[in-house]
Amino acid sequence: MLATIDPVAIRLGPLSIHWYGLIIAAAIVLAYHLILPEGKRQGFQEEFLTDGIFWMILWGFVGARLYYVIFQWDYYQEHPEQILQVWNGGLAVYGGILAGAITLLVLARKNRWSLPLLLDVTAPGVLIAQAIGRWGNFMNQEAHGGVVSRTFLEELHLPNFLIDQMQIKGNYYHPTFLYESLWNILGFVLLLVLRRQPRLLRQGEIAAGYFIWYGLGRFVIEGMRTDSLYLGSLRVSQWLSVVLVLGSLVFVVRRRRQQPAVPFYREADEHKRVIKEI
């Protein structure tokens, strides 16, 4: 049986570099290299994309941490010194998504770029970054589901290192981080395939597809987790998932009916500096 993985990757005297931070950094680098060429192909300036990605990441981190701290305030008000210790985990994906989307909205309106097209360009990169980032939860042994048996995990044909890492204080747990990571990878591939199809998706619908796909998966997987905050009969993240899925569906249907002239993603004209109303 393998030992559990040390969450600290490198120790340099008093300095500790955690796997969580390294994995998040790798996810960001990959997302950047996916978003940049696609954005340039769609007519966005490289400087604008680089600045936009930087601010989206920065405020996304702030939003993700703020969301987590707010909903875990009973703990953090007793341990305020840990509020900034993000290397121990505690970044709420939905907080990052909301903050990142608001950042892109501000930048798009300020620079008079098409917000739906900008969201389309960034959505697949964000989704694959989320898939990679979930492995930071694996290293920290967090964001897991309820108790299961080792036999259950073995029947999923998981490698031993993963099974052993899901043993926490004598119990084995659902690897919900893995479920979400695989779901996001599948969604990433699907979005890439769909956006390559001519005259299929209109501007804004790749982003809507992202919200629908992620929301559906998160709703189901969140129901397995043991660290969620409830709001009535559902978890907070499940309510947000419902809002995102329904809101995105309404957006696509109403926009197709009321604005049939919206360009297709693969046939966007060169006049990108016109704000498209959502």
For every one of its 278 residues, what pLDDT tens digit does the chain have, with 9 covering 90 and above? 456 899 999 998 888 899 999 999 999 999 999 999 999 999 999 999 999 999 999 999 899 889 888 877 888 888 888 888 877 767 788 999 999 999 999 999 998 889 999 999 999 999 999 999 999 999 999 989 999 999 999 999 999 999 999 999 999 999 999 999 999 999 999 999 999 999 999 999 999 999 999 999 999 999 999 877 777 778 889 999 999 999 999 999 999 999 999 999 987 444 444 434 34
- pLDDT score at 89: 66
d(CA 218, CA 59): 22
- pLDDT score at 79: 83
Q: Residue 44 domain-assigned?
A: yes
Q: Residue 242 domain-assigned?
A: yes
Q: Residue 133 domain-assigned?
A: yes
| 3-state secondary structure labels for all residues of 116-151 | HHHHHHHHHHHHHHHHHHHHHHHHHCCCCECEECHH
Other CB atoms closer than 10 Å to residue 180's CB: what's the count?
Answer: 25
Q: Residue 231 domain-assigned?
A: yes
Give Cβ neighbours of residue 206 (< 8 Å, ≥ 6 apart). Answer: 119, 120, 123, 124, 191, 194, 195, 265
Range of the structural domain that residue 41 is part of: 13-267
- pLDDT score at 80: 86
| Global pTM value | 0.88
d(CA 152, CA 149): 5
Q: Residue 73 domain-assigned?
A: yes
- pLDDT score at 2: 54
Helical segments of the chain, H only: 19-41, 46-71, 73-76, 93-111, 115-140, 150-155, 160-165, 176-195, 205-222, 236-258
- pLDDT score at 77: 83
Q: Residue 206 domain-assigned?
A: yes
CA geometry: angle 221, 225, 228, nearest 5 deg: 110
- pLDDT score at 28: 94
d(CA 199, CA 138): 40
CB environment 239-274: b (16+ within 10 A), e (fewer): bbbeebbeebeebbeebeeeeeebbebeebeeebee
Q: Are 65 and 99 a contacting pair, CB within 8 Å?
A: no
- pLDDT score at 84: 85
Other CB atoms closer than 10 Å to residue 103's CB: what's the count?
Answer: 21
Helix or strand run (H / E) with residue 231: strand 230-231
CA geometry: angle 95, 141, 158, nearest 5 deg: 110
Q: Residue 274 domain-assigned?
A: no
Structurally, how many domains does the chain consist of?
1
CA dihedral 65, 71, 77, 83 (to 10 degrees): -10
CA distances from 44 to 38, 111, 118, 207 (A): 9, 11, 8, 17
Q: Residue 275 domain-assigned?
A: no
Cα–Cα nearest to 244, from 101, 126, 62: 101
